[in-house]
Structure 1
Amino acid sequence: MKKISCTNGLYQRFGLSRIIQAAAFGTSLTLLPLSQAMAQSLPSDMAIPGSANLQETVQQAITQNPEVNAAFRAFNAAGYDRDEAWGGYLPSVDATAGVGRESVEGDGRGSYDTDYMQLELTQMVYDGFATAGRVEQLDRAELVRYYELLGASETVALEATRAYADVLRYRELVRLAQDNYRQHMRVYDQIEERALSGAGRGVDLEQITGRVALAESNLLTEASNLHDVSARYNRIVGDLPVENLAPTPELSGELPSSVQEAVNLAFEGNPDFHAAIEDIAASRAEKDIAEAGFHPRVDIVGRTGNNNDDSSAIGRRDQSSIELVASMNLYRGGSDLASFRAASERIEEAVENRELACRNVRQTTQIAYGDTQRLREQMRYLNQHRQSIDRVRGAYQQQFDIGERTLLDVLDSENEFFEASRAYVNAQYDVAIADAETLASMGHLMRTLDVSRADMPSLSDLDSDGVEIDAEAICPTQAPANYTLEDLVGSTDNGTSSDVSIARSFDEKSAVDTLSVTDASDTTTKLPSAFTDEAVNATPTNASSFLQVAALTNQDSAVALQEELANQLNTPTRVVNSGGFYRVQVGTTADAEPGFRRQLSDMGYDEAFPVSS
């Protein structure tokens, strides 16, 4: 059998030889829960032992992630900067002392010893409100850093959620690729047996060999993607993902009822938007500082000390004074005016940054919220597609068994089912991420997950009531409309019956090799000798023949369809395990067969064909 050309290094990197072997030969692997299956089939350097849920993962991320820790240090530094500026209101006390020798030219006494000590106190009385402006600026800057810390925490919480969901996503996609590979190997074995017996064509064997190689390539691709998202998880959270990750929690109940409400909540809670608003206040305070250059400065200066001068008859002298000192710069080369103009421009810059933050928050929220609605609607259609193609591939397989379909039809249906399953899995995790993105844009993700840093202060600890926002004045909430499929194509009613659940969940696996079956004497169908037929479920019957309705990959779905048909048709039914499919068949007689065919056609089963009893 031909294999995909792979270097040993690639197999060593991803351990994919183990994955392929597990898919092809380790049939018990597919019967385990996903987490256990992945733990057995994935290399040890892609997961570590243990269990975790999303809340624990996000808590670890916001506590250990360097981006959040750096923002926390910047917030602490801003608090100390504010305390430094506050010191401008308090007196400055300086002590000076000196000792040396001094000479005065022309006095005829040569050099002499001197020493002095002085204590000086300076209290600012008026500085043009420079100190007040500096305190206000740095107080606002501390709030800016605080909101940036909240924003970094929400961002990392979202990235951790996305990485968590992506690890689950690609573990599931690896499982689907394993199953796809196993299905192709099953068909390969069937075609190979036919070719060796002389009943098959060599071109069919060549065709299935190429499709097996494609299935191997798909498995390599999904394993590579899993490796990449595991590395991203490691970067964000600080550890490799554990073997047993709990499913992502349902967050849709925390979403607002409309996109307008979501945007309004985002304006009220998004920390990046609030940081931009506080930055405007900080820039205005900087302008107050620049204006101080046009004002005089008034200080109270008190001094006391002594001066020992051996050149005088007096010797040591004690001196004390207190003064009201006023000073004002008359000319500084235009620096004060330039500083004032620069501060004015920075206010306008901050206003534009707020407008940018407003638009970014509005866009992010609208897109994320729209995705939650669109993806949920899409999932219904993707699931219908997946279930329909599951029925089709079963029908194609049974028609291929009796020579009514080509091998290409069977292989194409297998590939389409694989792609449909991938699309459905991707949509499931995409909607979970969209929920998290919507909550993060509103500043509610950490609160929803009930996680926080233990050292995170509150606004009340900072003596702040938060920002006051008139969202409609500064950032209108207009939003483009979201459309449903009904909006786009109109309401239609084609009278079709609801779709039969062929594979109730993408987690369900076909457990062909280990399921217990019950023997029945009347269950042998005329199918190729490569198959072993066993009745999984059958009702008592005196039917002379059977019509095969569907061939499904899931036993429970097949039994459910059997029961539905038995109730609606009032005829004996059975499920036959054959060739990897559960074949649902209804009993009939030669006289009743045309009527049963019409009834089955009305129910959507046009491809029913007779098999012997």
Structure 2
Amino acid sequence: MAMKDGIKTTLKTLFLQRAIRPLTVTTLACLPLSALAQSLPTTLYAPGTTDLSSTIQQAIVTNPQVNASWANFSASGSDIRVAQGGYLPSIDVSAGIGRQDQQNDGRGSYDSDFAELTLTQMVFDGFATRSEVERLDRARLVAYFELLGASEEVALEAFRSYLDVLRYRELVRLAQDNYREHQRVFAQIEERALSGAGRGADLEQISGRLALAESNLMSEASNLHDVTARFQRIVGELPAQNMAPAPSLATELPADVSQAIELAFQGNPEFHAAIENIAVQRAEREGARAAFMPRLDIQGRTGTNNQDDAIDGRRDEHSIQLVASMNLYRGGSDYAAFNAATTRIEEANSLRETACTNVRQTTQIAYNDTQRLNEQLNYLNEHRQSIDRVRGAYQQQFDIGQRTLLDVLDSENEYFEASRAYANAQFDLTLAQARTLAAMGQLMQTLQVARDDIPSLDELGYEDSASRVEMACAVNGPRGFTLEDFTSGI
């Protein structure tokens, strides 16, 4: 009798504990799996359907980071036209009117006015204009590659955020499954306890596991909220209610990591920007040499000077002349400017080396992740399927008294963790493929997305400097591995 009273007390306590739990979790978990999108709060999605390519297309068109890079590239074209103006003549007009006082034989005060037109054409400026045009032309290429790099970066971030929304929607679904299964076991144990066939300790145990399942569900829901907010920041709007699965990019990857690195050096925008920056600094140094050379200009003038009541009266002047000029001393500023430009070339070379190592490392890691995760998926799936069979067998054995409740709960928890690991690996594999393509500068091309206002390299008259021997980077580095490489000697 005392035992039954204890069980009743336990049941009453547990019932009250269940009643005061947040109802939102219970309601969410009790919905059918086919209604997952409908089971999510409406604040976490926008009505409609979308796919990966359209999401990335919208991101690269509307993202402020890309638009800022586009504005910088557009302004660089105007900078070139500013420098090209140095080849053309400069025409100036000046005029004035006033009163003049003279203290000579024709002393007195007179009204005066003048007007003058001056034309100056540069003949030779020590190649300063040519160097400036070259510098700004290369700077425009740097801005172009920075624009491509920003677009690839935002495309990858949009890809990542799209995958993360899909990922955590799936993890929420798995957590709902896990919670629902714990509810089923709780109801089964509760029924046994009420009939006197169960133990109060079992009811306490399943109640604790059910609380853990609720906590897991809330954790996944919180993660989904966070990645949804990140998606909105990158893309500019909430993810759609129905999102198409991300396509596999496995067929777009090269055969081995060496090919991937070579393609990365050929196509990575940041690497090409670093190379063009060297040319920018070299052109700046050539421009600094102009200060040590003479300057030749053709100057033409025509004008009139009128002094009322003056002895000379009106005087018209017309002249054309070749003017040579050269600075002899400017306080050492020219030498300092030349030395600074030379040092910046060394800086640019070091930045190219940094770009080499960064591109190589990023590509190696991303490509290795694709190989590792591809192999790991098989093991994770095998583990998940095995645990699924085990938990089914454990439940049947528990029903006939051959397994304890702890065995059943442990198998359920292991299946939940195995399912999470398998789902995460699937999304991680797709993301690793995208990271590899982004490192190679080919993610947008592969997904067939682009900004319409970005010109091609041919339109810019680009000549690939990365193909020169002195600009090449080594492709040597660690290679991929398989499980057999680490188990063959065991």
Provide the TM-score with structure 2 as the length reference.
Answer: 0.94
Could you say which residue in structure 1 is the equivalent of 2:326?
A: 328
Following the alignment from structure 1 to structure 2, what is the Cα–Cα distance between the partners of residues 427 and 470? 40
* Aligned-residue offset at 1:468: 3.7
| Aligned: 1:289 with 2:279 | no
* Aligned-residue offset at 1:473: 6.2
AA aligned to 1:345 is T
Could you say which residue in structure 2 is the equivalent of 1:310?
A: 308
* Aligned-residue offset at 1:38: 2.8
AA aligned to 1:247 is P
Choose which of 185, 203, 206 in structure 2 pairs with 1:208.
206
The answer (yes or no) to whether the contact 1:263–1:366 under 8 Å persists in 2 is yes
Following the alignment from structure 1 to structure 2, what is the Cα–Cα distance between the partners of residues 105 and 407? 121
AA aligned to 1:161 is F
* Aligned-residue offset at 1:319: 0.7
Could you say which residue in structure 1 is the equivalent of 2:219?
A: 221
Could you say which residue in structure 2 is the equivalent of 1:194?
A: 192
Following the alignment from structure 2 to structure 1, what is the Cα–Cα distance between the partners of residues 350 and 470? 17
The two structures, once aligned, show a CA RMSD in angstroms of 1.7
Three-state SS of the structure 1 residue aligned to 2:459 is helix
Following the alignment from structure 2 to structure 1, what is the Cα–Cα distance between the partners of residues 239 and 26? 22
Q: Higher relative contact order by CA 8 Å / sep ≥ 6: 1 or 2?
A: 2
AA aligned to 1:171 is R
Following the alignment from structure 2 to structure 1, what is the Cα–Cα distance between the partners of residues 25 and 40? 7
Following the alignment from structure 2 to structure 1, what is the Cα–Cα distance between the partners of residues 80 and 460? 12
Instruction: After TM superposition, list the pairs within 5 Å mapping 1:426-505 onto structure 2.
Output: 426-470=424-468, 474-490=472-488
The answer (yes or no) to whether the contact 2:86–2:122 under 8 Å persists in 1 is yes
In structure 2, relative to structure 1, the CA distance for the partners of 1:246 and 1:379 (3 Å cut) is same
Could you say which residue in structure 1 is the equivalent of 2:173?
A: 175
Task: State the Cα deviation string for residues 534-583 of structure 1 (Å, max 9, x = none).
Answer: xxxxxxxxxxxxxxxxxxxxxxxxxxxxxxxxxxxxxxxxxxxxxxxxxx
Following the alignment from structure 2 to structure 1, what is the Cα–Cα distance between the partners of residues 320 and 471? 54
What residue ranges of structure 2 are gaps of 5+ in the alignment? 1-14
The answer (yes or no) to whether the contact 1:4–1:216 under 8 Å persists in 2 is no
AA aligned to 2:259 is E
Provide the TM-score with structure 1 as the length reference.
Answer: 0.76
* Aligned-residue offset at 1:141: 0.3
What residue ranges of structure 1 are gaps of 5+ in the alignment? 12-16, 493-613
Following the alignment from structure 1 to structure 2, what is the Cα–Cα distance between the partners of residues 228 and 107? 92
* Aligned-residue offset at 1:312: 2.7
* Aligned-residue offset at 1:474: 3.1
How high is the sequence identity, in percent, across the aligned residues?
63
Task: State the Cα deviation string for residues 323-358 of structure 1 (Å, max 9, x = none).
Answer: 111111111111000000000010011111111111
Number of residue pairs the alignment of both structures matches: 475
Query: Once structures 1 and 2 are overlaid, which stretch shifts more, 96-105 or 251-260?
Result: 96-105
Three-state SS of the structure 2 residue aligned to 1:307 is strand
Following the alignment from structure 1 to structure 2, what is the Cα–Cα distance between the partners of residues 85 and 450? 36
* Aligned-residue offset at 1:314: 2.9
The answer (yes or no) to whether the contact 1:18–1:41 under 8 Å persists in 2 is no
* Aligned-residue offset at 1:471: 6.8
* Aligned-residue offset at 1:472: 8.7
Higher share in helix = 2
Following the alignment from structure 2 to structure 1, what is the Cα–Cα distance between the partners of residues 199 and 383? 32
Task: State the Cα deviation string for residues 586-611 of structure 1 (Å, max 9, x = none).
Answer: xxxxxxxxxxxxxxxxxxxxxxxxxx
Choose which of 29, 48, 52 in structure 2 pairs with 1:23.
29
Following the alignment from structure 1 to structure 2, what is the Cα–Cα distance between the partners of residues 350 and 4? 67
Choose which of 277, 280, 295 in structure 2 pairs with 1:279.
277
Choose which of 44, 65, 68 in structure 1 pairs with 2:66.
68
* Aligned-residue offset at 1:465: 3.2
Three-state SS of the structure 2 residue aligned to 1:481 is coil
Following the alignment from structure 2 to structure 1, what is the Cα–Cα distance between the partners of residues 252 and 25? 39
Could you say which residue in structure 2 is the equivalent of 1:158?
A: 156
AA aligned to 2:98 is G
* Aligned-residue offset at 1:404: 2.0
Choose which of 73, 79, 82 in structure 1 pairs with 2:80.
82
Following the alignment from structure 1 to structure 2, what is the Cα–Cα distance between the partners of residues 103 and 208? 110
AA aligned to 2:157 is E
Following the alignment from structure 1 to structure 2, what is the Cα–Cα distance between the partners of residues 280 and 244? 48
Could you say which residue in structure 1 is the equivalent of 2:366?
A: 368
The answer (yes or no) to whether the contact 2:110–2:310 under 8 Å persists in 1 is no
* Aligned-residue offset at 1:61: 0.8
Choose which of 103, 107, 110 in structure 2 pairs with 1:109.
107
* Aligned-residue offset at 1:3: 4.7
Query: Once structures 1 and 2 are overlaid, which stretch shifts more, 260-269 or 410-419?
Result: 410-419
Could you say which residue in structure 2 is the equivalent of 1:94?
A: 92
Could you say which residue in structure 1 is the equivalent of 2:235?
A: 237
* Aligned-residue offset at 1:22: 3.3
* Aligned-residue offset at 1:491: 9.0
AA aligned to 1:85 is A
Task: State the Cα deviation string for residues 187-225 of structure 1 (Å, max 9, x = none).
Answer: 000111111111111111111111111111111110111
Could you say which residue in structure 2 is the equivalent of 1:264?
A: 262
The answer (yes or no) to whether the contact 1:85–1:135 under 8 Å persists in 2 is yes
Could you say which residue in structure 1 is the equivalent of 2:420?
A: 422
